[in-house]
Amino acid sequence: MPEMNTSSLPDLIFTILFFFMIVTTMREVTLKVKFVVPAGTELEKLEKKSAVSFIYVGPPTDQLRAQFGSTTRIQLNDRYAEPREVMDFIYQERQSMSDQTAQVVSIKADQRTQMGYITDIKEVLRKSWALKVNYSATHRN
């Protein structure tokens, strides 16, 4: 029986490796709040994800509940924050973008979050001139 020709095997392996390197995205933020986003009917998909800054709002995860309680918290990147700290976060995010006018702030809030908390965040966003605000939701059938 003749031996199998394996001369093209390295090319195949590197092609598969290159494919997975291209399509794989790394999770940038470790979630410290849990949220169930509300459902909606008129939804649009965000086009330019590199220009999106995320603000997570909800109660702490089960692992952190003993330490931080069960009150609603704001998470900016990998840390908890107060509404007044949102302005500095937006400024830092804006400075890291190539097209600063395309910045969109996406609020991923738990559906049980009180609207007053969201309003406080929106007031700070307005003061920091982050006027493109998106609310994350799932599609309602």
For 15-34, what is each residue's pLDDT tens digit?
999 998 888 876 677 788 88
Q: Are 74 and 87 in contact (CB under 8 A)?
A: no
pLDDT, tens only, 73-101: 999 988 899 988 999 999 998 998 888 88
Average pLDDT across the chain, whole number = 87
The answer to whether residue 5 is domain-embedded is: no
Residue 103 is assigned to a structural domain of this protein:
yes
Kindly state whether residue 20 falls inside one of the protein's structural domains. no
* Count of domains forming the chain: 1
Strands 133-135 and 104-109: parallel
Asked, for residue 23, whether it belongs to a domain, the answer is no
Say if 82 falls within a structural domain: yes
What is the rounded CA–CA span in Å between residue 47 and residue 5?
45
The pTM for the full model equals 0.75
Kindly state whether residue 12 falls inside one of the protein's structural domains. Answer: no
- Helical (H) or strand (E) element with 91: helix 86-95
**Does a structural domain hold residue 41?**
yes
Query: Can you say how many angstroms the Cα of residue 1 is from the centroid of all Cα atoms in its chain?
Result: 56
For 116, the domain range is 28-139
Residue pLDDT, tens place only, 56-78? 999 998 878 777 777 899 999 88
Q: Is residue 48 part of a domain?
A: yes
